[in-house]
Structure 1
Amino acid sequence: MTTTPAPGISRPAADDLFRSVFRRHAAGVAVITARGGNGPAGFTATSLASVSADPPMLSFGVGTGSSSWPAVAIAGHVGVHILGEHQRELAATFARRGADRFGPPTAWREGPEGVPVLDGVLAWLVGRVVARVPAGDHRVVLAEVVHGDFAGSGRPLLYHQGRFTGLRD
């Protein structure tokens, strides 16, 4: 699927406009995990959204060129972890290409449905994947929530202007 920019705007200008606008949009930071054929996989996401309350459903985007896509493409379940502002380095680790994301100092365990669950997060969910919708060079994954815990404490980590940050009072 290809898109055509609006009349009067070139493709490079549309790409620049898109990036500039979304740099101004503050987004919560999550780490998505899945059990892969070669071990656990995961990535940092700012595209997490609530989709439905009945049934409880969420969505996130994942690039088809990412190292995590092969695991997410076949996973029956995924983990969604809401990061706290004390977890900037964890967010950076899961965003970095080639990083050993599940090696020390990352603390994690096998959770429900065999999904990797990160320790110390504000909250986590496990969702049963119900759809993977093509969207340009990404897929939008829809998952129905089947397990979770919101017992963590602290303030949420945000992504704004190209960096991880926290809330200001």
Structure 2
Amino acid sequence: MFHAYPTDAWTEAPKHDFSTSLSADEFKAVFRGHPGGVAVITADAGEGPVALTATSVSSVSAEPPLLIFSISALSSASEVLSRAETVVVHFLDANDLDLAKLGAARGVDRFADAHRWSRLVTGEPVYHDVRAWVRCAVIDRMGAGTSTVIAAHALQSHIERDADAGEPGDALVHHNRTWHRLGAHSRIED
């Protein structure tokens, strides 16, 4: 794989043996109270498109434009995402709740509705009418427990619905196992 950026920190991370650790249930309880923005990630490594809903997408750098996200090994999309050279990250708002639910559903064909998606000229599957999407080149992967952290360089974007600076728009977040819409009612300070 081509690495556009230094990867020593990713590939040579020290192994630790911790004598104590939070249980999976304790760790999940901590994060239930920490809301996350909702995205759907799509890719195709040659055998057909895959999609999954994620709340782990984070901006890393504006110059160069980098983002990261993680995928669980339990996801039906993990095998394809472990090989895909490019991905499309769809940033959702409350108008896209049905897509968020589709990407999170188990055992369904996320591409059965042919009117809902198409392929970019570069081949990646992209859903229509979402708030925004970014096509990215995968630049690195790192195993982390039962997940893989993927670093990606943003190549192309499209914004369908933008919020004015300082305004919440209709942001979609996942918090305590439920979907929420951020709006003017949720603002606590200017």
Residue pairs, 1:38-117, within 5 angstroms? 38-104=47-113, 107-117=116-126
Tell me the amino acid that sits aligned with residue 156 of structure 1: A
Structure showing greater Rg: 2
Q: Name segments (4+ residues, structure 1) moved above 3 Å.
A: 1-6
The percent of aligned pairs where both chains have the same amino acid is: 37
State how far apart, in whole Å, the 2-side matches of 1:141 and 1:103 are: 27
Tell me the amino acid that sits aligned with residue 82 of structure 2: A
State how far apart, in whole Å, the 2-side matches of 1:150 and 1:130 are: 23
CA root-mean-square deviation: 1.9
Alignment deviations for residues 51-80 of structure 1 (CA, whole Å, 9 cap, x no partner): 111110000001123211121111110000
**TM-score using structure 1 length:** 0.89
SS at match of 2:26: helix
Kindly tell me: are residues 112 and 62 of structure 1, through their superposed partners in 2, closer, same or farther at Cα, counting changes over 3 Å?
A: farther
2:178 is aligned to 163
Match for residue 137 of structure 2 among 128, 132, 147: 128
Match for residue 33 of structure 1 among 15, 21, 42: 42
State how far apart, in whole Å, the 1-side matches of 2:120 and 2:114 are: 18
State how far apart, in whole Å, the 1-side matches of 2:94 and 2:23 are: 32
Q: Which runs of 5+ in 1 are unaligned?
A: none
Tell me the amino acid that sits aligned with residue 24 of structure 2: D
1:143 is aligned to 152
Mapped contact 1:30–1:44 kept (Cα < 8 A): yes
Structure with the bigger percentage of strand: 1
Tell me the amino acid that sits aligned with residue 114 of structure 1: G
State how far apart, in whole Å, the 1-side matches of 2:75 and 2:23 are: 23
**TM-score using structure 2 length:** 0.79
The structural deviation recorded for 1:36 is 3.4
Q: Which runs of 5+ in 2 are unaligned?
A: 1-14, 163-168, 186-190
2:29 is aligned to 20
SS at match of 1:22: helix
Kindly tell me: are residues 51 and 40 of structure 1, through their superposed partners in 2, closer, same or farther at Cα, counting changes over 3 Å?
A: same
Mapped contact 1:112–1:126 kept (Cα < 8 A): no
Mapped contact 1:28–1:159 kept (Cα < 8 A): yes
